[in-house]
Amino acid sequence: MYELSIKGDMASAHFLRGYEGKCKNLHGHTWQIEVVIASRQLDRLGMVADFAILKKQLKEFLSSLDHMCLNELAYFKDVNPTTENIARYVYEQYAKMIHPLKIKHVQAWESSTSSVVYYE
């Protein structure tokens, strides 16, 4: 089994609905996102996938979230934009871009000391 890892970042704002702490107010993070892809097979060149293509796709995907208030996205109208839900959102949406490759997990850091891993 092979695991391929790529990383990207985005600067986005959010606020947590129903939360009784500082995070109930609008604030931002520079989110660090890591996507790990797992595969049992290699392509004809001996790669799981081309890093350059995957990084370009991840950058394109994350740019759609960059400098946004995540609460304004349709997905987060009913889902609180916690780090947990952001990791899940990236997992689900980025998986559509790289199909048929399979994501093992997505890790989202809201700071250098706080992160969440999402996997199915």
Give the span between the Cα atoms of 23 and 99, in whole angstroms. Answer: 35
Structure confidence by residue, pLDDT tens digits, 8-50: 999 999 999 999 999 999 999 999 999 999 999 999 999 999 9
Please indicate whether residue 29 is annotated as part of the active site. no
Give the span between the Cα atoms of 38 and 26, in whole angstroms. Answer: 36
Q: Which domains are seen in the chain, by residue range?
A: 2-118 (3.30.479.10)
- Residue 90's pLDDT is 98
Among 3, 23, 27, 72, the active-site one is 23
- Residue 107's pLDDT is 98
Among 3, 27, 60, 67, the active-site one is 67
Please indicate whether residue 23 is annotated as part of the active site. yes
pTM for the model stands at 0.95
- Residue 5's pLDDT is 98
Please indicate whether residue 69 is annotated as part of the active site. no
- Residue 8's pLDDT is 98
* pLDDT-based confidence at residue 110 (cuts at 50, 70, 90): very high
Structure confidence by residue, pLDDT tens digits, 53-91: 999 999 999 999 999 999 999 999 999 999 999 999 999
